[in-house]
Amino acid sequence: MRETSDFEKLSDFLKPYADNLDTKVWICRKVGKRMSCIARAGLENYSEAFISYEDENYVLFTEREITRDDERELINKLMVSFKQLLDKT
C-alpha cells in the first residue's frame, strides 16, 4: 500500500475548510522571496486569487475575497490548527 505524502495529508486537512468557505484554498510557505505551495483543497475556478491570511512564514490564498467576520474567524482557526498539524509532521 502506498504511503500518503505530507502534501496529501495537509491537503486532506484543508478539505472541510474549503467546503465550508465554498472556495478553493491553498497555503504556501514563504521561502525567501519565493513561495512554495504546501497544501490545497477545493474546486478550482481559475479565477483571481486573494490573500486571506499572511504572516511571516505562511500565506493562505482563496479564489474569492473573504469579507464576512465568521469566515475570517474560520480562516484564523484554520491557520492555528494547520500550524499545530505542521509541528506534528
**pTM, full prediction:** 0.88
Please give the backbone phi and psi of residue 60, each rounded to the nearest 5 degrees, phi first: -110, 125
Cα dihedral sign for 40, 66, 21, 87? Answer: positive
Is residue 72 within 8 Å of 66, Cβ to Cβ?
yes
Convert the pLDDT of each residue in 18-76 to its tens digit.
Answer: 999 999 999 999 999 999 999 999 998 888 999 999 999 999 999 999 999 999 999 99
Sequence spans of domains, the chain:
6-88
